[in-house]
Amino acid sequence: MIVTTGGAVEGRRIVDYLGIVRGIVVRAPTRRQRIRGSYQARYEGGNVVEYVVLCEAARKDAFERLVEHATGLGADAVIATRYQTTPFAQKDMTSEVLVYGTAVRLEPSVRV
């Protein structure tokens, strides 16, 4: 599956627009991640590794759901892909990660 932030796929013609596809994940840190992340943010500063790991996992899962959605529609690619993150519940640090784009079918590539 080709996934791009651009509005086209280089060298391939779009023959059908299948619609908007998305992947969504809502995540909260574990108690351990919250404690270690808070400690690092407060006393050490810098890149808070516990939260980076959590965010990367959420983005990966959302991306995989996007690809599943597009595959289910018979898409060859997803164009104009964007990520959005929104705090869902401040108290327990829950966040929504949404990735969305337009599923398309491409003209078959010609092999020489």
25: domain CATH number is 3.30.110.70
Q: What is the DSSP letter of 12?
A: B
For 91-101, what is the mean pLDDT? 88
Residue 75 vs residues 45, 63, 105: alpha-carbon distances, Å = 43, 15, 5
pLDDT for 20:
98
Is 25 within a domain? yes
Is 21 within a domain? yes
Is 101 within a domain? yes
Range of the domain at 18: 2-106
- Contact of 1 with 70, CB cutoff 8 Å: yes
Is 50 within a domain? yes
> Percentage of residues in the chain with pLDDT exceeding 90?
60
Q: How many domains does the chain have?
A: 1
pLDDT for 111:
58
Is 111 within a domain? no
At residue 94, what is the residue type?
T
pLDDT at 47 over 80: no
Is 49 within a domain? yes
User: pTM value?
Assistant: 0.84
pLDDT at 100 over 80: yes
pLDDT for 53:
86
Is 112 within a domain? no
pLDDT for 50:
79
Is 29 within a domain? yes
Q: Tell me which residue of 47, 24, 36, 42 sits closest to 95, measured CA to CA.
A: 24
